[in-house]
A = this chain, B = another copy of it.
Amino acid sequence: MATINVAGPNVQFTETEINSQYVYQNSEVTRNADGSITVTPTEQKLRFKTGRKPAKTGVMLVGWGGNNGSTLTAGILANKHKYSWRTRRGVQEANYFGSITQASTLRIGQTKSLEEVNVPLSSVVPMVHPNDLVLGGWDCSGLALGDAMRRAQVLEVTLQDLVYEEMQTLKPLPAIFDLAFVAENQEGRADNVIPGDKKAAVAKVREDIRNFKAANGLDTVVVLWTANTERFCLVTEGVHDTADNILKAVENSEEELSPSSCYAVAAILEGCSYINGAPQNTNVPGIVELARRHKVFVGGDDFKSGQTKMKSALVEFFVGAGIKPECIASYNHLGNNDGKNLNAPKQFRSKEITKSNVVDDMVASNDILFPAGTPKPDHCIVIKYLPYVGDSKRALDEYTFSIFLGGEQTVVMHNTCQDSLLATPLILDLVILTELMQRVSIAENDGEFQQMDTVLSILSYLLKAPMVPAGTPVVNALNRQKQAIENILRALVGLPAENNMLLEYRIPALRH
């Protein structure tokens, strides 16, 4: 892979740092009394500083023995050892397809002869390589990872056979388990549970993190929830609202403190960023405050891999084309343990909430199609547990659109998404981008350098219900989310944002 050198006066590479100067442009809008609006272009001079050496990074997964956890582990081994395996259709080699950091590119510019040049996203600034991640974590089922992988029924048996033995040496730590938060049908799986109350559990998890870090000589650890969807916790004043109350809630082993919140607290107190790959409301305000206090990141919620990702791309496309979505029916079924847990109404409700709002920002953006006061599109979301299909999740969607003069466009879609194979690369991206952001700081003019906000909204592309800093709008539009990542990466090395104006192409005189 080609090395990328960025030249020009806006960036300096020291041994340890990349320093860039950047003029950040935007437009500020004022609403006038007469109903008109005034738009004023703005510019801010910023400096970005990026550590050049990726940290030695550990990832601790809550739910390590689940389908995602075991698939991730097997996938990293397969890549690290450059394994290939026979399948019905031929020999397959290990890859990291589905990860934007590992398998997508961005247009870095064009040559003098107007050839467009694309480079791997990961080549713009130094990022951790997935093969260098150290994996660990907890699971309420004590199966060693090899057997967990077999149970998951995700990978070809020929690949399973290659990694099984090595994976059998890996055993998840006992997990916090509380039937008040997951479906009752999960009880049979829970044979590897931290005893005692929540206070003790948090202490134990903190110890686990410290041990893991020490044992593997890690610079940093990211904790990521890829376990079962919990029901929403009932956010209560005095319990979930402030950092201090959350700490008190731990102290009191508060009933309505969810296991996932316990992990988040433990991670934060150990200086680890915490990412929520499931829909529940782990990162309540008190946890966000705690994270801010400890200068770590929190991110979430819920991996965006299949139907929702497609939906946020499609609706962005249609609304952008001036076509009005009227009715969206989204049906899913799956047969893995995630589906089994979601079969319970409370857990499904968490998922439903997460998936429901993904078109809201796009609808709100177009008041020609949706004038004030008109209803949002009809929208239903269904998830059913059908064991036979296993991890091969199916999404059936029907979109109906209003077009010119009352015409109708109907798009029906059947999407066979191998659930864990789509979600796992997102875990990589979440960890890799989080680690990168831990090395990045920004200053305005000659101001002080500071990190991104605690709520790491740059992860939005990867998450179904993106958390954003309080008071800021949620962006679900997929292209906007992707551009955010790409343009921020460009800024880190002093390159301007992609504007796709391509004026050199369109106006010959501009070519020099």
- Give the residue name and chain of the B residue nearest to A384 (CB): B380
CB contacts under 8 Å to B, within A300-357, are 309-310, 313-314, 317, 319-324, 326-327, 329, 331, 333, 335
Q: Can you name 5 extra interface pairs (CB under 8 A) apart from A98-B321, A104-B320?
A: A96-B322, A97-B322, A310-B411, A404-B421, A483-B500
CB–CB A41/B501 < 8 A: no
Give the most central of A87, A111, A405, A458: most B CB within 10 Å: A405
- Give the residue name and chain of the B residue nearest to A369 (CB): B103
Binary per-residue interface labels of chain A (226-242) against chain B in the complex, 1 for a CB within 8 Å, 0 otherwise: 00000000000000000
Known contacts: A156-B88, A496-B26. The answer to whether A412 contacts B414 by CB under 8 A is: yes
Q: How long is the Cα–Cα vector from A35 to B502 in the complex, in angstroms?
A: 25
Q: Which of A113-121, A184-192, A252-260, A270-278 contacts B (4 or more CB under 8 A)?
A: A113-121
Q: Shortest distance in angstroms between A441's beta carbon and chain B's nearest beta carbon?
A: 10
CB–CB A90/B324 < 8 A: no
The answer to whether A216 has its CB under 8 Å from any CB of chain B is: no
CB–CB A320/B39 < 8 A: no
Known contacts: A26-B109, A87-B406, A114-B472. The answer to whether A39 contacts B495 by CB under 8 A is: yes
Q: Which of A172-180, A261-269, A484-492 contacts B (4 or more CB under 8 A)?
A: A484-492
Taking residues whose C-beta sits less than 8 angstroms from the other chain, chain A's interface range is 35 or more
Q: Which of A49-57, A58-66, A197-205, A390-398 contacts B (4 or more CB under 8 A)?
A: A390-398
Residues of B within 8 A of A245 (CB): none
Q: How long is the Cα–Cα vector from A121 to B411 in the complex, in angstroms?
A: 26
Q: Which of A138-146, A279-287, A446-454 contacts B (4 or more CB under 8 A)?
A: A446-454
- Stoichiometry (number of copies): 4
Known contacts: A35-B2, A41-B10, A109-B27. The answer to whether A98 contacts B424 by CB under 8 A is: no
Q: Shortest distance in angstroms between A478's beta carbon and chain B's nearest beta carbon?
A: 7
CB–CB A405/B92 < 8 A: yes
CB contacts under 8 Å to B, within A13-46, are 24-32, 34-41, 43-44, 46
Residues of B within 8 A of A322 (CB): 96-100, 102-104, 425
CB–CB A390/B89 < 8 A: yes
Pairs A–B under 8 Å by Cβ, sample size 11: A5-B38, A30-B112, A39-B117, A103-B366, A104-B319, A105-B368, A310-B411, A317-B479, A396-B412, A472-B502, A472-B506
